[in-house]
């Protein structure tokens, strides 16, 4: 397996396929780089170098008990980018990976980043606070932690239903998608995934977004049941200096999988645009 070892001894697994302009994919919680397989195969055929890593505590990376926070996640990406000497890279982050990508680009990406894409991403802040009244109450995230600790396997078996919008009228349940989601989640470490709930819900990315000057495409489904669009993409697109907001009617949180043909087409057009 390809991996790097960070300064604190954590092994970060990654995939690195092809040649050309690099496209770096950042996965959501509690998944792994496997969630990007369809995109990686597609863009490899389009002549791009495609790279995806398993966040620490997820997938095949070390099951860390510490460092499960956005600052460390971004530093891990910076270590990977330096190891691979990535230049002129396009970073694509979904959900929690959108937060990771935004923090990396804002704090470590100078001279290395060409474009950024945020898909169903958690910035600027998911948690409801006095300054973010439209966010979700802490009780929502406390519930996620409680369910994970009580029965992670059962919790992860149920979570793909709203994630992919299988609970919406007219949408049939895909057992293979559900099982693949469950497989990825169960590969990771319970402690790291538990901690990551705080990282994706309570981290404020407002200042990161303000600092990013790279062109950024913000993509979000208006039926996202995991990261509501009103307090994420709508606000992020206003905080970014050079943003394009693209809203997908009726698309769920996992739209890169359920509507991969549409998302891949739009990503390719954005990558190729000057």
Phi/psi of residue 149, nearest 5 degrees? -65, -35
Orientation angle between helical segments 96-108 and 70-84, nearest 10 degrees:
60
Q: Identify the bridge partners of residue 91 per DSSP, sorted by sequence position.
A: 24, 116
Q: Identify the bridge partners of residue 136 per DSSP, sorted by sequence position.
A: 127
* Residue ranges covered by each domain of the chain: 3-7+10-272
The CATH number fitting domain 3-7+10-272, selected from 3.40.47.10, 3.30.1370.30, 1.10.357.10, 3.40.50.1820: 3.40.50.1820
Chain mean position to CA 172: 25
Looking at the predicted structure, is the pLDDT value of residue 191 above 90?
yes
Q: How much is the pTM?
A: 0.98
**pLDDT tens-place string over residues 131-176:** 999 999 999 999 999 999 999 999 999 999 999 999 999 999 999 9
pLDDT value of position 152: 98
Strands 216-221 and 243-248, by their bridges, are parallel
Q: Report, as residue numbers or ranges, the catalytic residues.
A: 95, 224, 253
Give the mean model confidence (pLDDT) for residues 51-63.
98
Q: What is the DSSP letter of 8?
A: T
DSSP helix/strand/coil, 207: helix
Tokens of 50: 């495609």
pLDDT value of position 274: 80
CB contact at 8 A, 73 and 98: no
């Amino acid at each position: 397996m390809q991996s790097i070892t960070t300064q604190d001894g954590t092994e970060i697994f990654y995939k690195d396929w092809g040649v050309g302009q690099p496209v770096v994919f950042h996965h959501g919680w509690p998944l792994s780089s496997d969630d990007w397989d369809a995109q990686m195969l597609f863009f490899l055929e389009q002549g791009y170098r495609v790279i995806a890593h398993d966040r620490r505590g997820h997938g095949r990376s070390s099951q860390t008990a510490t460092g499960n926070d956005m600052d460390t996640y971004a530093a891990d990406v910076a270590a990977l980018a330096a190891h691979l000497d990535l230049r002129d890279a396009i970073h694509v982050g979904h959900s929690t990976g959108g937060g990771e990508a935004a923090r990396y680009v804002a704090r470590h990406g100078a001279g290395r980043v060409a474009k950024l894409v945020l898909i169903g991403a958690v910035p600027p802040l998911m948690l409801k606070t006095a300054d973010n009244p439209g966010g979700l109450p802490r009780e929502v995230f406390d519930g996620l932690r409680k369910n994970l600790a009580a029965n992670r396997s059962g919790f992860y078996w149920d979570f793909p239903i709203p994630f992919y919008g299988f609970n919406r009228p007219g949408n049939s349940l895909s057992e293979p998608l559900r099982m693949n989601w469950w497989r990825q989640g169960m590969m990771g470490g319970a402690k790291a995934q538990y901690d990551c709930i705080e990282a994706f819900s309570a981290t404020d990315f407002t200042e990161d977004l303000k600092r990013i000057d790279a062109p950024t495409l913000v993509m979000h489904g208006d039926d996202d049941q995991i990261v509501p669009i009103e307090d994420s993409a709508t606000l992020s697109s206003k905080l970014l200096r050079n943003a394009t907001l693209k809203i997908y009617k009726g698309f769920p949180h996992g739209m890169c999988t359920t509507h991969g043909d549409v998302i891949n087409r739009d990503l390719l057009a954005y990558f190729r645009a000057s």
